[in-house]
Structure 1
Amino acid sequence: MDIEFHEAGVSFEGRQALHPVSLALREHRIGIIGLNGSGKTTFARLINGLTKPTTGHVRVNGHDTATETQAVMAEAGFVFQVPQNQIILPILKDDIALGLKARGTLKADCEAKTFAALSRLGIEHLAHRRAHELSGGELQLAALAAVLATEPSLVILDEPTNQLDLKNRAIVTNAIASLKENVIVISHDLDLIAGFDRALLFGEGRLIEDGQPATVIDRYRTLNL
């Protein structure tokens, strides 16, 4: 995975949500931390084209996120902070198949890809369950399975362990650890980020620390003393 930011910034209604930043991301597992409103989610959404830069540009495997959005979204899947917002149809397997059909997958292949993604996470038994019947951890895994079914090379997760109890947090953390895809995680869960290859710290719309997770997490803690 090759992600390049070239003076990429975002402003909304005259407010600078993310000041221009230039960097390259090539590590397998990258964590993004910072206080609420620090710009970390805006930064991550730039990577798969959910947010477009108002200055500069972002490229993912050579594709410009502003002008080649479909190609970028095929490379980079995004799991939202509230998984219920990602699951549209009541039955889980139907919802995953819908996402595949929207990407042009042949109907004959949809079921196989759906169950393959569910099996990877050990939740094939949830295929016929309704979304409102699932626990918080099951919902998070269901949303992740829907993204994995599309076979992205990068998975971005926004606060995947937020509001989960210890059991479900462990289940989701283990699922993330098992992924062969490149992973970028936005999180307040510092224990999750600690084992990654690289971490980025944002504050007030700026990148203020970039490096080994231990160093970046220590900087974050000093900011909150």
Structure 2
Amino acid sequence: MSALPSRISGRAASSGIMLDRARVTLSGHVILQDLTLHLTEQRIGIVGRNGSGKTTLLRLIAGLIAPDAGIVRIDGLDPATDRKGTLAALGILFQNPDHQILFPTVEEELAFGLRQLGRSQSEALATARAALAAEGRSHWGLAPTSTLSQGQRHYLCLMAVLMMEPRTILLDEPFAGLDLPTQDRIARRLAALPQRLLTITHDPAAVADTDRVLWIEAGRIVADGAPATVLPAFRAEMARIGERDADTDLAG
């Protein structure tokens, strides 16, 4: 593990989500530009329009991509290189559950993360079945994951993440594509969690009750603060852009 720059304190390096001058370039384009952040709050929101870099930021924090320059640490760990150590520190719930589900049955899907943590197959399956029973979903165990509805698959992915007991959970548009009852069910579950939640969204209403909101545009943080300060400015700018018919030009 490389030494941290001198302006990052020892405490900052070992607590929460830390980025120091992190840059990401994809296909020759700079997507994230020298971001320096230290995120320790329990509820954090990141807003931005499509193409602003917010999903790339989530992938960077999750260790799915590595920075071209700078440093990313999750509770002192490098998520891009210390995958095993990061499993206990960080979980991620993708917008599309089909990008996350790997196994043919529900209990196998739930057991997979526990196997990654070093549990035996029998122990992992027993824990998965106990978790389903506690949720009133024992009948899901042997069901093919393909037979679950969109909302049920989303809930399955959330259960799989929670069973690994990460300290921080990344949420990528957690309510996209869900009907209102499912949104309410998942929102209640998320609100009750003790973990740090970082929610990335284009919808300001989804992060109105967070402790801190960051607004990202063109790979830079343009505002960072309380929701009551950041979100009205974000809404006003999105309304201004929407009035300009800014999508009329064809891509070059």
Q: TM-score, length-normalised on structure 1?
A: 0.92
2:101 aligned counterpart, secondary structure:
coil
Q: CA deviation at 1:121?
A: 5.7
- Cross-structure match for 1:59: 73
Q: CA deviation at 1:61?
A: 1.0
Superposition map of 1:1-225 within 5 A: 1-118=15-132, 123-225=137-239
Q: 1:85 to 1:68 in 2, by over 3 A?
A: same
1:224 aligned counterpart, secondary structure:
helix
Q: CA deviation at 1:123?
A: 4.4
Give unmatched runs, 5+ long, in structure 1: none
2:41 aligned counterpart, secondary structure:
coil
d(CA) in 2 for partners of 1:219, 1:119: 45
Residue pair 1:58, 1:65 contacting (<8 A) in 2 also: yes
Q: 1:76 to 1:121 in 2, by over 3 A?
A: farther
Q: 1:73 to 1:219 in 2, by over 3 A?
A: farther
1:67 aligned counterpart, secondary structure:
coil
Q: TM-score, length-normalised on structure 2?
A: 0.82
Q: CA deviation at 1:19?
A: 0.7
Residue pair 2:18, 2:73 contacting (<8 A) in 1 also: yes
Q: 1:137 to 1:62 in 2, by over 3 A?
A: same
d(CA) in 2 for partners of 1:119, 1:194: 33
Count how many residue pairs are aligned between Structure 1 and Structure 2.
Answer: 225
Q: 1:192 to 1:5 in 2, by over 3 A?
A: same
Give unmatched runs, 5+ long, in structure 2: 1-14, 240-252
d(CA) in 1 for partners of 2:181, 2:220: 34
d(CA) in 2 for partners of 1:158, 1:57: 22
Q: CA deviation at 1:201?
A: 0.9
d(CA) in 1 for partners of 2:139, 2:47: 34
Deviations 1:31-64 (A, max 9, x none): 1111011111111222221111111001111112
CA RMSD of aligned residues (A): 1.9
Q: CA deviation at 1:69?
A: 3.3
Give the AA of the match of 1:223: E
52-61 or 185-194, which moves further after superposition?
Answer: 185-194
Q: CA deviation at 1:190?
A: 2.3
Give the AA of the match of 1:150: M
Larger radius of gyration: 2
